[in-house]
Structure 1
Amino acid sequence: MNELYFNLLTPMARGNEDLFNSICERNKLSAQARNNYRRILLAGAATPPEASFEATHGLHLAAAQGFFRQYFYTGDRGFTLLKDRLTLFRDFLQSWERILILPPNNPLLYGFAERSEGALASAGGAASGGVFISYSRVLRLLTALEVNSVARQGFREYFNEYQSVFMAALEYCRINVCGLLEATGVYNFNAADPGKTTSLTNPTRCDPIGPEIARRKQERLGSINRIGT
């Protein structure tokens, strides 16, 4: 989080892009990716302290990491909603305050939403960052899904077709020793017309299984509608 986002905000606000350029060159970002990444960082640097953290920095974090790491699409299924349906899943989350380890008077903390463990969408329904599952809790969650029948059943019933995608995301985190950050509005797959899919980050880094599931669901819905008419 710090390397790809927070550490760059102050230099970018001052017009110093040395660190930004170094990261882009080291990771061989394309010109388009570089421009989009720059726009995200500048938006983060200009974020007022009273703004909702999830709708600003949380969202920016998710979008920024999509230029460097694989990410996964689970349609309208999200861990934010799952932990509201089955409270045992709340044990795998941490508040942003603890994750970032910032002093209490740091301006970045002023805009935390009332539910600081994450909100799937901001109050206005806009794109937003959601919950974060740290690496250690990713491991705990994988174990729980293996040995806890209640957790496993609740997980399967909620994620349905997308359960394999979320499991793949957890496995990716386990292998790469990283946490899992949820967000909505970063990658907006258009199942009816994939060519109109929009993204705040690099769309080619999205794991293809989730969009394919969404496309097949749309095809089934279209078939049902045609039969009905």
Structure 2
Amino acid sequence: MGFDISYHPIKEEEICEWYFDALQNHDVVEQLALQHQMEDFYKQKYADTLAVGRQTEPNAVFDKTHGYYIAVIQGFFRTYYYTRGSAFSFLIEEKPHFKKYTKNWQSILPFSMDNSVANLITENYSSGVYIPADQAIALLNDYYNNSHIKQDLDHFFSHKRIDVFLSALEASKKLGSGILEATEVVEPNPFDMPKSISYSNLFNCDKEGVYLYIDAAAEQMSQIQNTQTPQQQETSNKSSFWKKLFGN
């Protein structure tokens, strides 16, 4: 399978407050849900995610457990951004100098942990890199002022996906937050959008990256069959359904 990548603006202190503090104190969920006007349905999903987090074994991989759950929980609070296949983790593998924009979990958390941690996406259903607040701003500035950085990012986040990534950086700058990368928090189905899956709040997923994925899937189908078929028309209709669902 491919990778459904999402970018989650979240502050380092929110990582502790929304997840690790809530793991220890069940009352935190009720307090935060009230403070952020969270709907009961998502408050329950929040509590359920924490319940799974509490079962994490010390020998479990951090990125596949706590890191992933943090990304899921972020989506109950605010907008997150979707790009099909465009993981900053993969960019670092191609261009290692981009690692300077990231911060590892060992430096983020105010406590030590027994779980092994990759600090990158290595497989599906996991967290990836964390870009701290100051480096999100630095990366944004470098994109507009350093032609080499811009070229690398434009090439990697091709087919307009760079616009989604820049939106995530801009949102983080406005919030004064960092960005947590993750995979399979949301899984759009471009051929049957009502069957799309989100382990977080689907309505907090920024729609632009999903539109790009739907359009790309339709284009690939067209190239394969070299003609407009009922299935391609259906794909186009699914794009319209998603836009109707979330608004234009």
Normalising by structure 1, we get a TM-score of 0.89
In 2, are the aligned partners of 1:88 and 1:151 still within 8 Å (CA)? no
What is the aligned residue count? 213
Q: Distance in 2 between matches of 1:155 and 1:19?
A: 39
Deviation (angstroms), 1:221: 1.5
**For 1:91 and 1:101, how far apart are their aligned partners in 2?**
21
1:120–1:128 contact (8 Å) kept in structure 2: yes
Task: Say which SS state the counterpart of residue 119 (structure 1) adopts.
Answer: coil
Aligned equivalents of 1:101 and 1:82: distance in 2?
28
Give the Cα–Cα distance (whole angstroms) in 1 for the partners of residues 157 and 20 of structure 2: 32
| Cα offset, 1:101, TM superposition | 2.8
How far residue 27 of structure 1 moved from its aligned partner, in angstroms, is 1.7
Structure 1 position 165 matched with structure 2 position 168: no
Given candidates 47, 54, 78, the residue that maps to 2:63 is: 54
* Alignment correspondent of 2:29: 20
* Aligned counterparts of 2:37 and 2:140: Cα–Cα separation in 1: 33
Post-superposition shift, 1:219? 1.2
* 2:114 equivalent to 1:110: yes
Matched residue, 1:14: none
Residue identity over aligned pairs, in percent, reads 29
Counterpart CA distance in 2 for 1:88 and 1:144 is 13
Deviation at 1:225, TM superposition (A): 2.5
Q: Tell me what 1:143 maps to.
A: 141
Does the Cα contact within 8 Å between 2:82 and 2:164 map onto a contact in 1? yes
- Offset of residue 10 of structure 1: 1.5
1:53-132 map, 5 Å = 53-102=62-111, 106=112, 109-113=113-117, 115=118, 118-121=119-122, 125-132=123-130
CA distance in 1, matches of 2:56, 2:149: 38
Residues 7-46 of structure 1 mapped to structure 2, 5 A cutoff: 7-11=21-25, 17-46=26-55
Distance 1:20 1:158 in 2: 38
Instruction: Tell me, yes or no, if the aligned pair for 2:76 and 2:204 is still in contact at 8 Å.
Output: yes
Aligned residue for 2:67, secondary structure, equals helix
Distance, in Å, in 1 between the alignment partners of 2:125 and 2:220 is 26
Which residue pairs with 1:196 in the alignment?
Answer: 195
Answer 1 or 2: higher relative contact order, Cα 8 Å, separation at least 6: 2
Q: Which structure 1 residue ranges, 4+ long, deviate > 4 Å from structure 2?
A: none
Three-state SS of the structure 1 residue aligned to 2:226 is helix
Q: Partners in 2 of 1:126 and 1:155 — Cα distance?
A: 22
Cα deviation, residue 190, structure 1: 1.1
TM-score, structure 2 as length reference? 0.82
Distance of 2:29 and 2:40 partners within structure 1: 13
Structure 2 CA distance for aligned equivalents of residues 46 and 32 of structure 1: 22
| 1:216 aligned partner, one-letter code | D
Whole-Å separation in 2 of the counterparts to 1:27 and 1:50: 34
Gaps of 5+ in 1: 12-16
Aligned-pair CA distance for 1:75 = 0.6
Q: Deviations over 1:166-219 (max 9, x none)?
A: 000000000111000000010111112111110110000011100000011111
3-state SS, counterpart of residue 72 of structure 1: strand
Distance in 2 separating the partners of 1:171 and 1:43:
32
After alignment, is 79-88 or 20-29 more displaced? Answer: 20-29
- Aligned match of 1:226: 225
Q: Which has the higher strand share?
A: 2
CA distance in 1, matches of 2:120, 2:214: 26
1:6 aligns with 2:4: no
Q: Take 1:169 and 1:81, find their aligned partners in 2: how far apart are those partners?
A: 17
Query: What is the Cα-based RMSD across aligned positions, in Å?
Result: 1.4
Structure 2 gap segments, 5+ residues each:
1-14, 230-248
Q: Distance in 1 between matches of 2:129 and 2:147?
A: 23
